[in-house]
Amino acid sequence: MTASAESPRRGRGRPAGGGDRAAQILDAARREFAEQGYDGASLRGIARAAGVDPALVHHYYDGKEALFVAAMQLPFNPAEVLPRVFADAGGPDEIAERMVRFVLSIWRDADTRAPFLALLRSATGSETGAAMMRSFVAHALIARVAEQLPPAPDRELRVNLAAAHIIGVMLMRYVVRVEPIASADEEDVIQRLLPAIRGYFCD
Binding site for its own copies (CB under 8 A): 117, 120-121, 123-125, 130, 133-134, 137-138, 142, 156-158, 160-161, 163-169, 171-173, 175-181, 184, 189, 192-193, 195-196, 199-200
- CB of residue 123 vs its own copies: minimum separation in angstroms? 5
Given the complex with its own copies, which of 47 and 103 has the nearer CB atom? Answer: 103
Minimum CB distance to its own copies, residue 68 (Å): 15
Q: Which is nearer to its own copies, 44 or 192 (CB)?
A: 192
Do 103 and 58 meet the contact criterion of CB atoms below 8 Å apart? Answer: no
CB of residue 9 to its own copies, shortest distance in Å: 29
Minimum gap (Å) between residue 29 Cβ and its own copies: 20
Nearest to 129 by CA among 137, 138, 121: 121
SS (H, E, C) the chain: CHHHHHCCCCCCCCCCCHHHHHHHHHHHHHHHHHHHHHHHCCHHHHHHHHCCCHHHHHHHCCCHHHHHHHHCCCCCCHHHHHHHHCCCCCCHHHHHHHHHHHHHHHHCCHHHHHHHHHHHHHHHHCHHHHHHHHHHHHHHHHHHHHCCCCCCCCHHHHHHHHHHHHHHHHHHHHHCCCCCCCCCCHHHHHHHHHHHHHHHHCC
Measured from the CB of residue 28, what is the shortest distance to its own copies in angstroms? Answer: 24
Q: Which is nearer to its own copies, 81 or 137 (CB)?
A: 137
Residue closer to its own copies (CB basis): 53 or 187: 187
Whole-number minimum distance, CB 136 to its own copies, in Å? 9
Residue 55 or 157 having the CB closest to its own copies: 157
Nearer to its own copies, 2 or 191 (CB): 191
CA distance 180 to 71: 35
